[in-house]
Amino acid sequence: MNPCKFGACNKLKGNFIALININYVMKQNNFNFFLCPNCKSDKLNLFILKENSFEIKEGNITCNNCNKKYAISDGIIELILPDSEITKEKNFYLNEMNHNLKNDPYFTENNDAFILSLPKPTSKLTNRRFVIDYFIKQGQNFSFILKQLKINKDYVILDIGAGKCWTSTEFASLGCKVFAIDIIKEKYLGLKTAEIYINNKDIFFERICANMANLPFKEKTFDIVFFNSSFHHNHNINKTISEAVRVLKDDGKIILCNEPVKGIFRPHKQHRDLKKHGLNENTYFIWEYKKIFSKYKIKFKTFFPDSLDIKLKNWAENKNILYKILGNLYLYVFSKFADLKIMKTLLHTLFGMGLNLIGEKYNLKNEGKK
């Protein structure tokens, strides 16, 4: 982008600084999608201090309406307001990472090779088996969701709670325009991890520090709003869904992937303990998910985790007789009743079992024409 084409250019103290009205550069970059998170105005000015061939690396955005200023550093746009709950959660993750680095000799995931292997890390890259299992399960469910969606390369996708950014990378690899948001920037944990993918793969996506309950985007911007194991970290479920619906195009889709579900026999008591230490962990019964999506007029379909399906099918071939019986029982029951809503609701209610959900925003105008 040549900023001189769009606004006034000045040289101050030898540093090149450009002031651009964002409305003038709609087809040149992605800034036309943004709103001020403080006042929801789109009257924004962009100051560029440093850029390369494909993005602005340093600068700031100023709102002409309320005069709030938001920094751009390392290519990450900080469109987030101070929030004590978010600060607590950020500190929890950072303290946990620092603790692992100092005290866990098996913690070897803070390197580029591990990040580039996601979601299929191997024992050569980490000695922590539960980490390998965690990402493999996530990847299996993500692949299942992709098959259901039939992604169009022209889609504009918002990846909420992008974390290590591997899902954003997958979407960008399909040719989509992707906006990854998270509250954490630190490399190997948050948005700075994206540099590893951008430098090693032929992809690009925007990274924004933002609050999922106060999204800094215009209405009807995205074809897909995607949560991968992040929706349950919301600080306000109503605001989170309301904001997702606001920025979603008519007939756009909200996706929940790898979300925990509270069951009568699986209450997730550990989440209450984590909350005491600052991590915002919520788990909901399946009817709570259904209630909130219905409230905001989202037509939805729920799926059992594909990772669970794969695991139980493997049990049928296990040498252990108990696993073998359970696996074959699963294959028989689900071959008969897998499509019965009452069966899914019962299993979710009793055992939780995790959740993948695809919701579609009602197009009220089209509904009226039918």
Q: Using 50, 70 and 90 to split pLDDT, how confident is the model at 317?
A: confident
pLDDT in tens, 95-137: 888 888 888 877 888 999 999 999 999 999 998 989 998 999 9
116 shares a domain with 69? no
324 shares a domain with 177? yes
- DSSP summary character for residue 35: -
Mean pLDDT of the chain: 83
Query: Is it the case that residue 257 has pLDDT exceeding 70?
Result: yes
171 shares a domain with 301? yes
Q: Which residues contact 69 (CB under 8 A, 6 or more apart)?
A: 60, 61, 62, 63
**Separation of alpha carbons 73 and 312, rounded Å:** 46
- DSSP summary character for residue 60: E
pLDDT in tens, 132-152: 989 999 999 999 999 999 899
pLDDT at 23 (0 to 100): 36
Which of 244, 266, 267 has the alpha carbon at shortest distance from 256? 244
Q: Which residues contact 90 (CB under 8 A, 6 or more apart)?
A: 183, 184
Alpha helices in 9-153, H assignment, sequence order: 84-103, 112-117, 129-149
Query: Is it the case that residue 274 has pLDDT exceeding 50?
Result: yes
Does some domain include residue 105?
no
Alpha helices in the chain, H assignment, sequence order: 84-103, 112-117, 129-149, 166-173, 194-200, 237-247, 269-276, 286-295, 306-315, 321-337, 341-351, 364-369
Q: Which residues contact 19 (CB under 8 A, 6 or more apart)?
A: 7, 8, 10, 45, 46, 47
Does some domain include residue 84?
no
73, 101, 130: which is the final residue of a domain? 73
Q: Using 50, 70 and 90 to split pLDDT, how confident is the model at 167?
A: very high
73, 94, 122: which is the final residue of a domain? 73
Does some domain include residue 24?
yes
pLDDT at 343 (0 to 100): 61
Does some domain include residue 98?
no
Does some domain include residue 78?
no
148 shares a domain with 7? no
172 shares a domain with 63? no
Q: What is the CATH number of the domain that holds 186?
A: 3.40.50.150
Cα of first residue to Cα of last residue in the chain, in angstroms, is 45
- DSSP summary character for residue 65: T
312 shares a domain with 210? yes
Identify the residue with better confidence: 12 or 124: 124
Query: Is it the case that residue 277 has pLDDT exceeding 80?
Result: no
Query: Is it the case that residue 11 has pLDDT exceeding 60?
Result: no
Task: Give the total number of structural domains in the chain.
Answer: 2
Which of 180, 212, 209, 215 has the alpha carbon at shortest distance from 194? 180
Does some domain include residue 234?
yes
252 shares a domain with 116? yes
Range of the domain at 32: 3-73
Query: Is it the case that residue 24 has pLDDT exceeding 50?
Result: no
- Give the pTM: 0.85
pLDDT in tens, 186-242: 999 999 999 999 999 989 999 999 999 999 999 999 999 999 999 999 989 999 999
Does some domain include residue 218?
yes
